Amino acid sequence: MKMISRNRRLRTNDSIRSLVRETTLTTNDLVLPMFVMEGNNKKEAISSMPGVFRQSLDLMVQTVKENYDLGIKAVNLYMKVSDNLKDNTGKESWNSNGLMQTAIKAIKDAVPGVVIMPDVALDPYSIYGHDGIIKNGKIDNDSTVEALVKMGISLAEAGADILAPSDMMDGRVLAMREGLEENGFTDVGILSYAAKYASAFYGPFRSALDSAPVDAQEIPADKKTYQMDFHNSREAIDEALKDVDEGADIIMIKPGMPYLDIVSKIRELITQPIAVYQVSGEYAMLKAAAQNGWLDNDKVLIESLTSFKRAGADMIFTYAAPEVAKLLNN
């Protein structure tokens, strides 16, 4: 056979493959989502997410320190809200002495270099489990945006570096940017969940925070009136471009692996950094298969996260960040 070009020449051994490798995964790409709960010296396993825990603040601070030493420089915070603090307004979310605000202050004091990205959404604080305020049986967009701005400013005051609104309300990025500017928080960034789909892959997460929509006749049974229809891609592009115009510093696409086409399409259209979330259902599936011996845990984690980078992501939110960091460091 006479061939001038043989692609396999560049696959001959590991050293050559490394030289021509197009995509590289490092600890700098990782963001760790974490769940904070009330109490002291408390740690509760989340059964559907092996290796993931709800932690009281004292234990969470220690975990952040340990992971920072591994090279994980950013955390994404969620709060497990006590039932007695939930209502339809979400007012606990902007309580300056609330658990989320206290957590941000404690982590920033203990690990000043870590980037803190708190979730901005009302569902953990809502008696209905929705990301918005219910009025006349519907999610009211504009009153919800007002509440989210209050929450965002409160989190910025506590020391948040980047706000991560995950609610999917219309106009909330612009309103939040204006609120931050007016209150002197010009350096606080916004990571907008621009294309967050109404996905079946969120189940374990909602169990972890007890934030699933309640089953009540007078209110929506799901989040499809504000999260995106998973059949659509052009709509995701529209959402991302609008959020960039409104002042978003980073664009989030969620979930991850089932939506790599969306990541790739948006990467071609914007210059802003793109974040991708390996959501709880994705994580749980990989873990379940690995525990049954069907997949190699370490290899599928690295391969799946590398696929996000290859599609165009700049950062990856993953519950596997600590073990992936250890694999990369070794």
User: pTM, whole model, 2 decimals?
Assistant: 0.94
Question: Rounded to an integer, what distance in angstroms lies between the CA atom of residue 157 and that of residue 303?
Answer: 38
Q: Catalytic annotation on 196? A: yes
Identified catalytic residue from 80, 86, 108, 196: 196
Mean pLDDT of 96-115: 97
Mean pLDDT confidence for 95-121: 97
What CA dihedral angle connects 96, 56, 202 and 134, to 10 degrees? -30
Average pLDDT over residues 204-223: 71
Binding site residue list for Mg(2+) = 239
How far is Cα 58 from Cα 324, in angstroms, rounded to an integer? Answer: 24
Question: pLDDT-based confidence at 211, cuts 50/70/90?
Answer: low
Tens digits of residue pLDDT in 77-89: 999 899 999 999 9
Does residue 181 surpass a pLDDT of 70?
A: yes
- The predicted structure's pLDDT at residue 218: 75
Residue indicated by tokens 């089932």: 258
- For tokens 């990301």, name the residue: 131
Q: Where along the chain do its domains lie?
A: 24-329
pLDDT digits (tens, 9 = 90+) for 311-325: 999 999 999 999 999
Q: What is the mean pLDDT of residues 181-195?
A: 97
Q: Does the active-site annotation cover 254? A: yes
Average pLDDT over residues 217-241: 91
Rounded Cα–Cα distance for residues 170 and 140 (Å): 10
Which pLDDT belongs to residue 219? 80
- pLDDT value at position 210? 62
Three-state secondary-structure class, residue 3: coil
Question: Residues for the chain: how many in total?
Answer: 330
Give residue 298's pLDDT. 97
**Would you give the DSSP letter of residue 83?**
G
Q: How many CB atoms lie within 10 A of CB 95?
A: 15
Phi, psi of 293 (to 5 degrees): 80, 15
Binding-site members are 239
pLDDT at 118: 98
Q: At residue 199, what are phi and psi to the nearest 5 degrees?
A: -110, 150
What's the token pair of residue 115?
């980037």
What percent of the chain is modeled with pLDDT above 90? 90
Average pLDDT, the chain: 94
Average pLDDT over residues 98-105: 97
What is the per-residue pLDDT across 142-156, written as a single tens digit (0 to 9) for each? 999 999 999 999 999
Give the pairing of strands 30-37 and 315-318: parallel
- Helices 141-158 and 99-110 pack at an angle, to 10 degrees, of 30
The helix/strand/coil state of 23 is coil
The mean pLDDT value for 27-44 works out to 96
Select 24-329's CATH number: 1.10.3720.10, 3.40.50.970, 3.20.20.70, 1.20.210.10. 3.20.20.70
Tens of pLDDT, residue by residue over 271-296, are: 999 999 999 999 999 999 999 999 99
Question: In which band, very low, low, confident or very high, does the pLDDT at 220 lie, cut at 50, 70 and 90?
Answer: confident
The catalytic residue among 80, 254, 265, 287 is: 254
Count of C-beta atoms within a 10 Å radius of residue 68: 18
